[in-house]
Amino acid sequence: MPKPEVLKLMKTLNISEAEALELMEEDKEIDRGVKLYELPEDRKAGAKKARRADRKKTEVHRERKVDETKKRILDFCRIPLEGAGAKVLEMKTETEILFEFEGASYTLKLTKHRPPKS
């Protein structure tokens, strides 16, 4: 009758008694420090390099969506600025207005915040 450890391995891994005994012997060798199943260092490094080479960086061109609400808000800000005597130099998309007022230059930046995660 096989030992309880052998029976446990046979049942758990669905293997024969000979395979269970072989597995236990290999486990003992590994415990003693024998490296049975490790790849040589040069093969490990080569495999990593090959995996890195497989990955290709592809440029993803995404169409930028114009935020019409932000654009309207900045227009609401631009009109009074010009009415007060400011010289609007540039409107960067719908994010900021660059302007000069009384000899100094300013930037008015609009940030839309995402809704909080729940």
Higher pLDDT, 56 or 80: 80
**pLDDT value of residue 97:** 92
The pTM for the full model equals: 0.46
Q: Any bridge partners for residue 91, and if so which? A: 97
Residue 102's pLDDT band (boundaries 50, 70, 90)? Answer: very high
Q: Enter the tokens of residue 20.
A: 């269970």
Written as one letter, the residue type at 8 is: K
Q: Rounded to an integer, what distance in angstroms lies between the CA atom of residue 105 and that of residue 10?
A: 81
Higher pLDDT, 8 or 45: 8
Residue 39's pLDDT band (boundaries 50, 70, 90)? Answer: low
Mean pLDDT of the chain: 83
DSSP 3-state assignment of 106?
strand
Q: Any bridge partners for residue 109, and if so which? A: 96
**pLDDT value of residue 54:** 62
Q: Rounded to an integer, what distance in angstroms lies between the CA atom of residue 108 and that of residue 115?
A: 22
Phi-psi region of 103 (alpha: psi -120 to 50; beta: other; left: phi over 0): left
**pLDDT value of residue 41:** 62
**pLDDT value of residue 21:** 87
Q: Please report the beta strands in 13-109, taking only residues with DSSP state E, as ranges in sequence order.
A: 87-92, 96-101, 104-109
Residue 63 has pLDDT above 60, yes or no: yes
The ranges assigned to domains in the chain are: 4-54, 68-109
Higher pLDDT, 46 or 109: 109
